[in-house]
Amino acid sequence: MSDGQDVGYIGIGEAAAALENGELSSMDLTEAVLARIERLNPTLNAYTLVMADSARADARAADSRAAAGRRLGPLDGIPIAIKDVIDTAGVVTTYGSIKYRDHRPGADAHVVQQLRKAGAVILGKTNTHELARGITTDNPHFGPTRNPWDLTRHPGGSSGGSGAAVATGMALGALGTDTGGSVRIPAHMTGISGLKPTHGLVGRTGVRPLVRNFDHIGPMTRSAVDCALMLDAMAGPNPNDPDAVSQPAGSFAAALDEPIGGYRAGIVQDFADDAEPRIRELFADAVQVIRDLSVAIDSWSLPSDLDPTAAQVVSRSEGYVSIHAMFDGDFSSIDESIHQRLNVGADASAFDYLRGLQARADIEAEVSNALESRDFLLSPAYPYPAEPIKRFDARANDTLHASLFNSAHHPALVVPMGFADGLPVGLQIVGRLHDDATVLQIGHAFQQATAHHEQRPGVLD
């Protein structure tokens, strides 16, 4: 940690230990990260707003607590980025929309409050696909975020700014939202770790746009350990979120080192078969790593009578209603591609919506059934790596590798599993409802046995 640039690239756990024993100050850490943002963000466009002054104030407060022996926990003094669909009090929150370019919420979102209570240093707001309704983070109003592994490609979305920031050490961790894969797709495409927690585990008050049946908020970091440390701070009661679970947050990090030998896993065969050849090879290698950790592995296929397309009508319809309310029905400021995506929801009938609700419930039940005889499921996170930046096809159906588990509400973690043509790709680990701890434990065990998550993109050089 002698070099400032290296200081900015350490993990949350390592930084927390250094802050605890006095080897590192939050101010030095924050300055290192801010310097990296200044150097890299003009190229990557990961941040739409950097809160440098308030971040330094947060760091000074963290150092004062440390000097007095009153650190608040592992996240105290750690620089964290916030996706720009999550409210920050008095700080511009655009939701990726030009209409809201001057919008300053009166209060922090619940999850930001949780991070502040844990002592996190809030760095700024990260770029997102417009209204979080796409997977490329090619925002027509604030510009595209570029993938740090190949600047001609996108980083996934809609939490692409958060993914690019974490992958390059412009944040030690970041918040993302996941309605159809928006945490996990950028994790896959930028070579980081990203968790979609159990539905309702992290309160969503103050987060937009709202697709109640599918929305999740998750941590994005460089390792499963750091995801667990963030989740420990993020989870907790949120009485204003009607879907908030009553499960105590517990200590997700404390369970990471439990042995996984004797666990049972299932390969989601449909998703393995649908992936590109190189991703199938990397997935087979990853499965073997987990098998070598004394995990019994079989395969599971989606029942033929499931209707994920019907379930997606719910997401489209709820998204349309939510955004219609935000814009009072005037979509003239919204890019045509997003307008088209909204029209899919507007065109749905009441019958389509109700049938979709039943399809979503059926998916949850079938995934839960698959996990009755298994501790977790495995699949490639996505069927292909990052693609060149191009116009988003708004009418395309969401790829099921990610969106199925929004329908199912189960926790799903993506961790790096190697490179296809020089681009990172991810392994997805899906667990039982409310068993986020096991999902993180498996990811941690995999990362102890591999070094994919330690690779750094060339843009850092």
Q: What is the CATH number of the domain that holds 162?
A: 3.90.1300.10
Give the pLDDT band (50/70/90) at residue 396.
low
Residue 392 pLDDT? 73
Residue 461 pLDDT? 76
Residue 393 pLDDT? 67
- Residue 324 maps to a domain: no
Residue 249 pLDDT? 64
Domain count of the chain? Answer: 1
- The active-site residue, picked from 25, 26, 97, 158, is 158
Phi and psi torsions of 106, nearest 5°: -80, -15
Q: What angle do CA 122, 182, 90 make, to 5 degrees?
A: 30
**Least confident range of 176-180, 240-244, 279-283:** 240-244
Q: What is the mean pLDDT of residues 133-139?
A: 94
CA-nearest of 181, 200, 302 to 249 is: 200
Residue 3 pLDDT greater than 60, yes or no: no
Instruction: Tell me which residue range forms the domain holding 226.
Output: 4-306+353-460
Residue 1 pLDDT? 47
Q: What is the mean pLDDT of residues 43-61?
A: 98
Count CB-CB contacts under 10 A for residue 113.
18
What is the rounded CA–CA span in Å between residue 81 and residue 55?
10
- The active-site residue, picked from 25, 159, 182, 407, is 182
Residue 340 pLDDT? 84
**Least confident range of 230-234, 249-253, 379-383, 409-413:** 249-253
Residue 96 pLDDT? 97
- The active-site residue, picked from 83, 125, 193, 379, is 83
What is the rounded CA–CA span in Å between residue 409 and residue 212?
11
Residue 8 pLDDT greater than 80, yes or no: no
- Beta strand extents in 135-227 (DSSP E only): 138-139, 143-144, 173-178, 193-196, 216-221
Check if 83 is active-site: yes
Count CB-CB contacts under 10 A for residue 350.
8
Between β-strands 79-83 and 376-380, what pairing exists: parallel, antiparallel or unpaired? unpaired
Whether pTM > 0.85 for this model: the answer is yes
For the ranges 15-19, 346-350, 389-393, the maximum mean pLDDT occurs at: 15-19
- Residue 456 maps to a domain: yes
- Residue 335 maps to a domain: no
- Residue 332 maps to a domain: no
Phi and psi torsions of 129, nearest 5°: -55, 145
- Residue 314 maps to a domain: no
Asked if omega into 158 is within 30° of 0 (cis), the reply is yes
Nearby residues of 16 by Cβ (< 8 Å), 6 or more positions away: 74, 75, 76, 78, 229
Q: Give the bridge partners for 221, in sequence order.
A: 193
Residue 11 pLDDT? 96
Give the pLDDT band (50/70/90) at residue 91.
very high
Burial of 375 (0-12, 13-18, 19+ CB in 10 A): buried
Give the pLDDT band (50/70/90) at residue 325.
very high
* Of residues 154 and 4, more confidently modeled: 154
Phi and psi torsions of 102, nearest 5°: -115, 10
* Of residues 415 and 398, more confidently modeled: 415
Residue 397 pLDDT? 59
Give the pLDDT band (50/70/90) at residue 459.
confident
- Residue 435 maps to a domain: yes
What is the rounded CA–CA span in Å between residue 177 and residue 184?
9
- Residue 173 maps to a domain: yes
Check if 182 is active-site: yes
- Residue 371 maps to a domain: yes
Share of the chain above pLDDT 90, in %: 90
- Give the mean pLDDT of the chain: 95
Phi and psi torsions of 354, nearest 5°: -65, -40
Give the pLDDT band (50/70/90) at residue 2.
very low
Which H or E element spans position 429? Answer: strand 423-431
What is the rounded CA–CA span in Å between residue 400 and residue 383?
10
